[in-house]
Amino acid sequence: MRITHKVVGILWIAICAYFVGTLVQGISEAHPHRFDTLAINLFFIVLYSGGAFASFYVITGARWARIVLAVIALLTVSTSLVGLFAFFNSLPFSAIGLGFDAFALASAGVLLFAGKHAAA
């Protein structure tokens, strides 16, 4: 299971880095009078920066990092269901969005229900 955790950690580092880069670019292009958009973008920047940080520790084998990364994956799925996925230039129920949601749910399951190296 440790190899699976390392692969999931590497994939989440790449995903979180992409999302942080996209959202930082979105802040620079956003309208300054739209505080709600700025606040949501800043929330997701902090969330995915924490995801990249936790992903590094998932690779090293930290138990707390698996829990944090699984929570971030589940928050990503829940925001997709609410319709906030539009910030990533994708419709809430597009093929890319559904594929990413399936990956996030699967990785949360792998990280939380680890068998021998149980998270909780």
Q: Considering only CA atoms, which of 116, 112, 102, 99 is closest in space to residue 58? A: 112
Q: Tens digits of per-residue pLDDT, 88-110?
A: 555 556 778 788 889 999 999 99
**Is the separation of the CB atoms in 7 and 32 below 8 Å?**
no
- Can you list the residues of the chain whose pLDDT is less than 70? 1, 30, 32, 83-93, 115-120
Q: Provide the pLDDT for residue 34.
A: 74
Output the pTM of the full model: 0.80
- Break the chain into its structural domains and give their ranges: 2-117
